[in-house]
A and B are shown apart, each in its own frame.
Chain A
């Protein structure tokens, strides 16, 4: 903890302070103590060489499932902490749909303590908005807040009706808790498993129209005006949704939004051939939707990119497409897929890093995601040009359910620090 570290020779990018350039970084007592020049009397216990590397705040993932407690056959906090650290992620919000769900302080504590024991990842459990995620009765929000929850959500589970939704928003606002909404109208989504569009029509798969998302957003936005609740819309998937959020933000509504990294690259067409690895919820949508989501990142409508990591055991994807479980294991794809947007000239490198650091920190009201002097020394060092292959020799998550298996990607984390401690360091012979 008390090790004094200098990260030398790297190219510093800290969007929160508008810093971009070659600078050394000095860490002590688990905090950032100086940028550029060493503080008086600083003697480093350790020097981390970062020549040719990018040095930035480590990443904050607003949505990743660790599968613990209750779904350890899919993954566990230990395995996913390793995957996160190797991916430059040191803060991670996990949705409440564990088993039991995160609707009591006991479950919050269980997850936090386990994560602390492993010590590689700051896990921020999102509390359940309703008891048991059943959408009927409010959870004990104040108790959840005291246990450390910064936000509440009903995850993928529907609310029983709009009255419960209204009261949940009002009660959360009374306790100044953020409400995370994954917008999907359960009636319109029905039993759909892919985007309602040409691919669904060809393959005869039941579709989820984009109206399932926009109808849900419209409801929540109307209630936000009424209740003044702070709402974060998670994993937008379509152009119309992005436009609605843009208008609401222009009018000053206290709402934010994120998008999953894979939604910025894949489309409904990737489901072709009944590719169950591309069975995700919200579904992969049209090319026009994907492009609108990219545009919404550029214009600042969407302020965070998350992984929406959902590790599964192999059997979960070994069935007829509609019977497979939705979701992708994607912690380890977060940085490569975000950097791919820089390579495709959609974002600047600075914007890309902001969407993984400053943006999500602001959504959750965190002190991390910055290199400001005095802030926690959560640091990521990565090699922008390193190309590597997604396969068994590099993958750390227990879930291997990714359509990118076997693909070559660019951008590789070489070192990750949490509170000034090295929690991941690439071996020199890393493939």
Chain B
């Protein structure tokens, strides 16, 4: 059998981005180009008139089957700064709960002449499914699907790391917490390995690490103190409240005692370590406020970088001709 390659679904025949579904399978050159493009947009967000006309006349639909404030807002801001029209659809309270199939929902929206779907869905594979079935002129951006992927979050994270550290090749990065349920962690692992970091570590109890996690190209630690030794970047993951009821961990208290990031523990990392978190933060559960608000934290920069990265991805997927435009800008 020939498995359907995810990269061929994401790229057009010229190897340019068509959909952005997962970081897995994309080249280092493409990831660097996304970051370079984001860099060129960073200046836009600092101007008083925060708009460029690249996507004028295009319609972006934020198709959110799962609630999210932060991701939806940054996608909306990114699209608007590119002068696109934005429609927000919160499907969690809409048609599919009345029995309409996902495919019917997509067909109906297609009929409204839209150009892009930004999809968030509670099940893994949703963005792939939609990308495989939409009309050919529509691009699909994965805004997070189940436990599978959250590629724009991963890109803004590596973008943040690049801004802080410059080069990836000597970095040791630790991802701490609930890797099992985390689409962010999976996408980050692919992005970091593609960009050639020295080492990616995952740290957590066995109940929160997926089977055969080392096959993703990571080292596994069950002890936070050992895992933080000598790292350049710490990415803390949010612990969902419902993990307590599923017998994954005994209590928030014990979780914080074992895997909570404190100043004392952070001292085991490199002196110039940066601390990241995709948000929203559970203070006192996975991270101490002193660390979250402390000098090593780049958590707010992440949010800011999220807009530029999403502008880059939106424009690259909808305007393949932009290649020259962004090149001119950089020059």
Tell me the A residues contacting B by CB distance below 8 Å: 196-198, 200-207, 209, 266, 269-270, 272-275, 315, 318-323, 403, 407
A198 vs B129: C-alpha distance in the bound complex, in angstroms?
Answer: 21
A322 touches B216 (CB 8 A): no
Known contacts being A196-B211, A320-B121, is A273 close to B128, with CB within 8 Å?
A: yes
A residues less than 8 Å from B211 (CB atoms)? 196-198, 200-201, 207, 209
Q: Which of A200, A203, A204, A318 has the most CB of B within 10 A?
A: A204
Which residue of the partner chain, among B3, B129, B213, contacts A201 with CB atoms under 8 Å? B213
A315 vs B103: C-alpha distance in the bound complex, in angstroms?
Answer: 10
Known contacts being A197-B212, A320-B125, is A204 close to B4, with CB within 8 Å?
A: no
A371 vs B167: C-alpha distance in the bound complex, in angstroms?
Answer: 74
B102 within 8 A of A: yes
B210 touches A203 (CB 8 A): no
Which residue of the partner chain, among A205, A266, A272, contacts B124 with CB atoms under 8 Å? A205
B124 touches A203 (CB 8 A): yes
Interface stretch (choices B68-76, B146-154, B158-166): B146-154
Q: How far is the CB of B143 from chain A (nearest CB, A)?
A: 14
Q: How far is the CB of B116 from chain A (nearest CB, A)?
A: 19
Known contacts being A197-B212, A274-B129, A321-B123, is A205 close to B147, with CB within 8 Å?
A: yes
Number of A-B contacts (CB under 8 A): 84
A272 vs B3: C-alpha distance in the bound complex, in angstroms?
Answer: 6
A203 touches B148 (CB 8 A): yes
A267 vs B101: C-alpha distance in the bound complex, in angstroms?
Answer: 29
A320 touches B123 (CB 8 A): yes
* Sample (6) of A-B pairs whose CB atoms are under 8 Å apart: A204-B145, A204-B147, A205-B125, A207-B211, A269-B3, A318-B101
In the complex formed, the residue of A with least CB distance to B150 is A204
Which residue of the partner chain, among B24, B103, B125, B149, contacts A322 with CB atoms under 8 Å? B125
Q: How far is the CB of A283 from chain B (nearest CB, A)?
A: 12
Q: How far is the CB of B284 from chain A (nearest CB, A)?
A: 28
A204 touches B146 (CB 8 A): yes
A202 vs B24: C-alpha distance in the bound complex, in angstroms?
Answer: 9
A201 touches B123 (CB 8 A): no
Tell me the B residues contacting A by CB distance below 8 Å: 1, 3-6, 9, 24, 101-103, 121, 123-126, 128-129, 133, 145-149, 183, 186, 210-213, 215-216
A residues less than 8 Å from B146 (CB atoms)? 204-205, 322
B1 touches A266 (CB 8 A): yes
Interface of A is mostly: loop
A321 vs B129: C-alpha distance in the bound complex, in angstroms?
Answer: 8
B102 touches A205 (CB 8 A): no
B residues less than 8 Å from A318 (CB atoms)? 101, 103, 133
B210 touches A200 (CB 8 A): yes
B residues less than 8 Å from A321 (CB atoms)? 123-125, 129
Q: Given contact pairs A201-B215, A273-B9, A407-B1, enumerate 5 new A-B contacts (beta carbons under 8 Å).
A: A197-B211, A202-B24, A202-B186, A204-B183, A273-B4
A residues less than 8 Å from B149 (CB atoms)? 204
A residues less than 8 Å from B145 (CB atoms)? 204, 320
A321 vs B127: C-alpha distance in the bound complex, in angstroms?
Answer: 11
A residues less than 8 Å from B123 (CB atoms)? 320-323
Q: How far is the CB of B19 from chain A (nearest CB, A)?
A: 13
Q: How far is the CB of A83 from chain B (nearest CB, A)?
A: 22
A274 vs B147: C-alpha distance in the bound complex, in angstroms?
Answer: 13
Q: How far is the CB of B248 from chain A (nearest CB, A)?
A: 12
In the complex formed, the residue of B with least CB distance to A201 is B210
Q: How far is the CB of A80 from chain B (nearest CB, A)?
A: 25
B6 touches A273 (CB 8 A): yes
A205 vs B180: C-alpha distance in the bound complex, in angstroms?
Answer: 10
A272 vs B213: C-alpha distance in the bound complex, in angstroms?
Answer: 16
A206 vs B146: C-alpha distance in the bound complex, in angstroms?
Answer: 10
A residues less than 8 Å from B126 (CB atoms)? 320
Known contacts being A198-B215, A201-B213, A204-B183, is A403 close to B1, with CB within 8 Å?
A: yes
A196 vs B209: C-alpha distance in the bound complex, in angstroms?
Answer: 12
In the complex formed, the residue of B with least CB distance to A286 is B212
Known contacts being A197-B212, A209-B211, A319-B102, is A272 close to B4, with CB within 8 Å?
A: yes
B residues less than 8 Å from A266 (CB atoms)? 1
Q: Which of B9, B123, B213 has the most CB of A within 10 A?
A: B123
Known contacts being A200-B210, A266-B1, A274-B128, is A320 close to B102, with CB within 8 Å?
A: yes
Q: How far is the CB of A264 from chain B (nearest CB, A)?
A: 14
A202 touches B129 (CB 8 A): no
A408 vs B230: C-alpha distance in the bound complex, in angstroms?
Answer: 55
Q: How far is the CB of B223 from chain A (nearest CB, A)?
A: 21
